[in-house]
Chains A and B, each alone.
Chain A
Amino acid sequence: MIVAERKPLDQILEILAPFRRVLILGCGGCVTVCLTGGEKQADELASQIRLAAKQKGLHLMVDVDCITRQCDREFIQNLKADPAKYDAVLSIACGVGVGFMSELFPKVPVLPGLNTTFYGANVASGIWAEYCHGCGDCVLAWTAGICPIARCSKSLINGTCGGTNQGKCEVSKDMDCGWLLIYNRLKELGRLDELRKIRGPRDWRKDRGSGVRRLTHQELVKLEEESKA
């Protein structure tokens, strides 16, 4: 899932400063699961904004709405509020939701209430950790299911560097050395030979190196065209 965290309230107030009527728009997808951008968080944020606006003497009117997912056109029809009636929409979806809503409501500024951080898993109650970088060229088959692109701070591909220390990364003693995890798991699986193979330089085009990425399912595109014809 996509993990995101709330922007600091001060930053949100700064973003909203030019506007009077604001719709806070929650998303029922990933950000609901990681407890940052769902319906409940939209309500909480609205209360915080109203309170702060009152304390600062600002005239800010805030409403709340939430849809199943902000990254899919079909859920727009579930909107109870009309974004066009507001000066701005504060989306607390991930960046995808903010961007897609901006495209669907081009006349209203759609603003971000979250910082989108990573693709992660819920590893313990209240804790999400990064597992995938979305590099476009998955290597997990030979790294025992542990991603070196996401979990080595240097995204190295041929094994640990000299910065591995007591199982931790040189960047932080709270961060596991991804390559040591990979080494240990490969060893347990009897697959250390995978580590012995040289992995050649990566093709970073698949990882944003050649610009905006897109996925096209030709069959679906064709079906859509046929139904229109």
Chain B
Amino acid sequence: MTEPVSNLQKALEAGQFVVTGEIGPPKGTNIGPIIHEAEQCLKGRVVAVNVTDIQTAVMRAGSLVGCELLLDHGIEPVFQMVTRDRNRIALQSDLLSAYILGVRNVLALTGDHVAMGDHPEAKPVYDLDSVGLLQAIANLEAGRDMGRDAKGNPNTLDGTPKFFKGCCVTPCAEEVEPQVIKLEKKVEAGAQFVQTQAVYDPATFERFMAGMRHLKVPVLVGIVVLKSAGMAKYMNRSVPGVQVPDAIIKRLAEASKEDLKKVSTEIAARLVREMKPLCQGAHLMTLGWDDLVPGIIEQAGLA
């Protein structure tokens, strides 16, 4: 086995139950607060922190700058990359840039359609899909890019990156087989870990994990922190492949405003606790409520 390239890879290979966090760069230049939050709430508690890539197609500062600032503050980033906004030339170039800056974890995603965001008139790119992006990364690691020189031979790189490559899957999609087939292809294309879309139903997750066991790739179950009953209902209505059970919605609805963060922490911690035996880690998506992370980790019995 080759040397792990990141702490995330090292921890997963050591068989530790791994927790990752997430930050989203701001719409604007004021990136200080989220880096500060990450330092206060995530540093030392999670192994790595994902930086979202123009999440939900809402224009904002990029993932790479967030990754670099995390590195500056001693926090290991996971560079999320979607194929919606850049063609293969820009994606490969940004991968080289990321490696030069010290980024070692990459999460390859297709990305929400521009129609979902705040610039619906924009031209969607999707030159590559998520499988193609993983192939491109593997190519770079082999010292080549996707292009050819004048003689038709693959271009060679002057300096080769090496990443820990991740991908996403939606375990609670109504039709799970197409998700698993695509995941098989992502793993074949080089994916070494999986961070899932939000899961709120351990039983469904257990069935999904049984269906993908043959892939032998570590899975970090995704937990989106629920901030209110309204948010949970919205997710059920609008977020594909996410189903928050009624019992959880009821708990949120009955919580007083002062108790909401406490209840939200308990819900997330319980989900992590229940799914811990099924997978290799948890990916906590707090949507700004980073201050909940220490409590979730503690109550999940991971501290």
B275 interface hit (Cβ, 8 Å): no
Contact partners of A153 in chain B: CB under 8 A? 113, 115, 124
Chain B, residues 181-223, CB within 8 Å of chain A (1/0): the string is 1101100110000000100000000000000000000000000
Among the stretches A13-21, A79-87, A158-166, the one at the interface with B is A158-166
Of all chain A residues, the one with the shortest Cβ separation from B175 is: A180
Q: In whole Å, how far is A177's beta carbon from the nearest beta carbon of chain B?
A: 9
A108 interface hit (Cβ, 8 Å): no
A196 touches which of B116, B126, B128, B184 (Cβ 8 Å):
B184
Indicate if the CB atoms of B197 and A162 lie closer than 8 Å.
yes
B178 touches which of A157, A159, A198 (Cβ 8 Å):
A159
Of all chain B residues, the one with the shortest Cβ separation from A153 is: B113
Cα A199 to Cα B112 in complex, Å, equals 21
Residues 12 to 46 of chain A near chain B (Cβ within 8 Å) = none
Indicate if the CB atoms of A163 and B112 lie closer than 8 Å.
yes
The tally of residues in A whose CB lies under 8 Å from a CB in B reads 31
Of all chain A residues, the one with the shortest Cβ separation from B116 is: A170
Specify the main secondary structure of chain A where it touches its partner: loop
B132 interface hit (Cβ, 8 Å): yes
Residues 238 to 280 of chain B near chain A (Cβ within 8 Å) = 240-241
Contact partners of B185 in chain A: CB under 8 A? 158-159, 196, 198
With A164-B178, A183-B175 as given contacts, are A158 and B131 in contact (CB-CB < 8 Å)? yes
Among the stretches B26-34, B72-80, B166-174, the one at the interface with A is B166-174
A156 touches which of B112, B129, B175 (Cβ 8 Å):
B129
Indicate if the CB atoms of A198 and B131 lie closer than 8 Å.
yes
Of all chain A residues, the one with the shortest Cβ separation from B125 is: A154
Indicate if the CB atoms of B173 and A158 lie closer than 8 Å.
no
Of all chain B residues, the one with the shortest Cβ separation from A168 is: B240
Indicate if the CB atoms of B113 and A158 lie closer than 8 Å.
no
> What class of interface size applies to chain B in its complex with A?
35 or more
Of all chain A residues, the one with the shortest Cβ separation from B88 is: A201
B127 interface hit (Cβ, 8 Å): yes
Contact partners of B88 in chain A: CB under 8 A? 201
Indicate if the CB atoms of B132 and A165 lie closer than 8 Å.
no
Indicate if the CB atoms of A157 and B240 lie closer than 8 Å.
no
B7 interface hit (Cβ, 8 Å): no
Indicate if the CB atoms of A198 and B126 lie closer than 8 Å.
no
Q: In whole Å, how far is B236's beta carbon from the nearest beta carbon of chain A?
A: 11
Cα A47 to Cα B240 in complex, Å, equals 48
Chain A, residues 141-169, CB within 8 Å of chain B (1/0): the string is 00000000000011111111111111101
Cα A198 to Cα B184 in complex, Å, equals 9
B110 interface hit (Cβ, 8 Å): yes
Indicate if the CB atoms of B126 and A156 lie closer than 8 Å.
yes
Contact partners of B157 in chain A: CB under 8 A? none
A179 interface hit (Cβ, 8 Å): yes
B298 interface hit (Cβ, 8 Å): no
Contact partners of B84 in chain A: CB under 8 A? 154
Q: In whole Å, how far is B139's beta carbon from the nearest beta carbon of chain A?
A: 10
A104 interface hit (Cβ, 8 Å): no
With A162-B110, A170-B240, A198-B188 as given contacts, are A154 and B116 in contact (CB-CB < 8 Å)? no
Indicate if the CB atoms of A156 and B110 lie closer than 8 Å.
yes
B13 interface hit (Cβ, 8 Å): no
A171 interface hit (Cβ, 8 Å): yes
Residues 118 to 139 of chain B near chain A (Cβ within 8 Å) = 124, 126-132, 135-136
Contact partners of A180 in chain B: CB under 8 A? 175, 178
With A198-B188, A201-B127 as given contacts, are A179 and B178 in contact (CB-CB < 8 Å)? yes
B71 interface hit (Cβ, 8 Å): no
Of all chain B residues, the one with the shortest Cβ separation from A204 is: B127
A190 interface hit (Cβ, 8 Å): no
Contact partners of A196 in chain B: CB under 8 A? 181, 184-185
With A158-B129, A162-B170 as given contacts, are A201 and B135 in contact (CB-CB < 8 Å)? yes
A200 interface hit (Cβ, 8 Å): yes
Cα A199 to Cα B188 in complex, Å, equals 12
A62 interface hit (Cβ, 8 Å): no
Cα A131 to Cα B175 in complex, Å, equals 24
Q: In whole Å, how far is A4's beta carbon from the nearest beta carbon of chain B?
A: 21
B181 touches which of A162, A195, A202 (Cβ 8 Å):
A195
Cα A109 to Cα B175 in complex, Å, equals 54
Cα A200 to Cα B189 in complex, Å, equals 10
Q: In whole Å, how far is A191's beta carbon from the nearest beta carbon of chain B?
A: 13
Indicate if the CB atoms of A201 and B173 lie closer than 8 Å.
no
Contact partners of A195 in chain B: CB under 8 A? 178, 181
* New A-B contacts (19) at CB < 8 Å, excluding given A158-B129, A163-B240, A171-B113: A156-B110, A156-B129, A158-B132, A161-B129, A161-B130, A162-B168, A162-B170, A162-B197, A164-B178, A164-B240, A165-B240, A171-B115, A180-B178, A183-B175, A183-B178, A196-B181, A196-B184, A200-B135, A204-B127
Query: Could you give 5 example pairs across A and B, Cβ below 8 Å?
Result: A154-B84, A154-B124, A171-B113, A172-B115, A201-B146
